């Protein structure tokens, strides 16, 4: 059974003029120990989906439809206090910018210990021992000397390790990692990815890896969901999608990744930009930029359909079952 199951999730942000739909009819599932990559441009709704799962959508945003089940229990309509208990204990989070994720006025030890004590009945001394173990676990050298240091005394990569240590304090079954490597140097990125993969393997933790970097997905994820303008346009196994992407948008994404073995002088690019939330066109949201768009794409919104189990795609080109991509 899936560890996390998101079913037809819809997230709205009411504004003065109209209601913006940031996440529209998104369904996805993550099995225990699995890494699901969620990829898309900024504003595609990836982070909002992640925030919805942990129940931390910024007001006035709200979940307007669908349901979220974690370990067989529906969690989107729990009272605030119950949601809070799930955060950190069952579902850990890693944020994008390690430089701003930690409170500058507390030592990393204080922040680790308070998180550990929130989620367990350990004594203070035991919590500190656990904090030391966690810091060692995430690859901080000489944790005993570093535990009483303040966040500003760590480098960016080291801070992201501390953030990961905070996320795994209570050995959650799922970690939502929202752009965990975007703010880091390339050389540090691969270290953090390797760390996440190792933790996932050792503890059997599932990861929802939100990123706009196809390379990170290729390296880490088991399955990938591609989001565009608040919807999932394609989902499937990473290898399958990397090798033969179906949706025209995914194809465009793949072609815009530089390759060393390619002869072409220029990188392909997708013309135009993703529509902002208040100007999502009717029909398929991608049709203004789609090279294969036809008249019916301007009128009908495609649903996510299974094409080649477990791959699914939301494109009218595949509506009659043929897979000519």
Partner 1 sequence: MFSPRQRSRFPVPPGTSRLIVAQLAGRATGSSETKATTMLAFILKRLAQSLLVMFFVALIAFLMFQFVGDPVHQMVGIETTLEEREELRETLGLNDPVLVQFSRFVSAAATFDFGISYQHKKPVADMILSRMPATLELSILSALFALAFGVPIGAYTGLHRNTWLSHVLMTVSLIGVSLPTFLIGILLIFVFAVILGWLPSFGRGDVVDLGWWSTGLLTITGLKALILPSITLGLFQMTLIMRLVRSEMLEVLRTDYIKFARARGLPDRVVHFRHALKNALVPVITVTGLQLGSIIAFAIITETVFQWPGMGLLFLQSIQTVDIPIMSAYLILIAFIVVAINLVVDILYYVIDPRLRSARNTEARP
Residues of this chain that bind partner 1 (CB under 8 A): 54, 56, 84-89, 93, 95, 97, 100-107, 114-115, 118-119, 141, 146, 149-150, 152-158, 163, 166-167, 169-170, 185
- When the beta carbons of 185 and 202 are compared against partner 1, the nearer one is 185
- When the beta carbons of 144 and 260 are compared against partner 1, the nearer one is 144
- Burial (CB < 10 A; 0-12, 13-18, 19+), residue 160, is buried
- When the beta carbons of 24 and 90 are compared against partner 1, the nearer one is 90
Closest distance to partner 1 from the beta carbon of 114 (Å): 7
Nearest to 59 by CA among 17, 12, 10, 96: 12
Closest distance to partner 1 from the beta carbon of 71 (Å): 16
- When the beta carbons of 151 and 252 are compared against partner 1, the nearer one is 151
- When the beta carbons of 153 and 202 are compared against partner 1, the nearer one is 153
- When the beta carbons of 86 and 192 are compared against partner 1, the nearer one is 86
CA distance 4 to 174: 8
CA distance 99 to 103: 9
Closest distance to partner 1 from the beta carbon of 134 (Å): 13
Closest distance to partner 1 from the beta carbon of 62 (Å): 16
CA distance 222 to 239: 8
Closest distance to partner 1 from the beta carbon of 165 (Å): 11
CA distances (Å), 10 to each of 7, 58, 64, 283, in order?
9, 15, 5, 18
Are 223 and 217 spatial neighbours (Cβ–Cβ below 8 Å)? Answer: no
Terminal C-alpha separation, the chain = 31
Closest distance to partner 1 from the beta carbon of 300 (Å): 38
Closest distance to partner 1 from the beta carbon of 261 (Å): 33
CA distance 112 to 168: 10
The radius of gyration of the chain's CA atoms, rounded to the nearest angstrom, is: 21
CA distances (Å), 221 to each of 8, 70, 144, 184, 324, in order?
23, 20, 33, 19, 26
- When the beta carbons of 130 and 247 are compared against partner 1, the nearer one is 130
CA distances (Å), 103 to each of 45, 151, 160, in order?
27, 7, 13
- When the beta carbons of 31 and 114 are compared against partner 1, the nearer one is 114
Closest distance to partner 1 from the beta carbon of 216 (Å): 20
Peptide bond preceding 141: is omega within 30 degrees of 0, i.e. cis?
no
Are 50 and 68 spatial neighbours (Cβ–Cβ below 8 Å)? Answer: no
Are 168 and 199 spatial neighbours (Cβ–Cβ below 8 Å)? Answer: yes
């Amino acid at each position: 059974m899936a560890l996390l199951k998101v079913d037809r999730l819809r997230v709205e942000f009411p504004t003065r003029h109209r209601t913006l739909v940031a996440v529209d009819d998104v369904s996805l599932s993550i099995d225990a120990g699995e890494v699901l990559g969620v990829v898309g441009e900024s504003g595609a709704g990836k982070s909002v989906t992640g925030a919805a799962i942990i129940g931390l959508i910024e007001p006035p945003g709200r979940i307007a439809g669908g349901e979220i089940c974690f370990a067989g229990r529906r969690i989107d309509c729990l009272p605030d206090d119950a949601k809070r208990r799930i955060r950190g204990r069952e579902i850990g989070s890693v944020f994008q910018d390690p430089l701003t994720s930690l409170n500058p006025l507390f030592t990393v030890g204080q922040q680790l210990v308070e998180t550990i004590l929130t989620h367990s009945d350990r004594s203070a001394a035991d919590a500190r021992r656990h904090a030391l173990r966690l810091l060692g676990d995430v690859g901080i050298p000489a944790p005993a000397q570093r535990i009483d240091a303040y966040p500003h005394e760590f480098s960016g990569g080291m801070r992201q390790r501390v953030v990961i240590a905070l996320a795994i304090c209570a050995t959650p079954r799922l970690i939502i990692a929202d752009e965990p490597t975007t703010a880091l140097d390339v050389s540090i990125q691969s270290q953090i990815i390797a760390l996440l993969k190792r933790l996932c393997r050792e503890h059997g933790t599932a990861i929802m890896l939100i990123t706009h970097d196809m390379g990170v997905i290729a390296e880490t994820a088991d399955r990938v969901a591609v989001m565009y303008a608040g919807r999932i346009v394609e989902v499937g196994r990473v290898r399958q999608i990397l090798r033969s992407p179906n949706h025209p948008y995914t194809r465009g994404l793949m072609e815009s990744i530089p390759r060393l073995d390619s002869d072409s002088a220029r990188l392909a690019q997708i013309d135009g930009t993703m529509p902002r939330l208040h100007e999502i066109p009717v029909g398929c949201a991608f049709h203004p930029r789609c090279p294969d768009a036809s008249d019916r794409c301007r009128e009908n919104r495609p649903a996510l359909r299974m094409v080649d189990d477990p791959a699914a795609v939301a494109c009218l080109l595949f509506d009659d079952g043929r897979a000519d991509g």
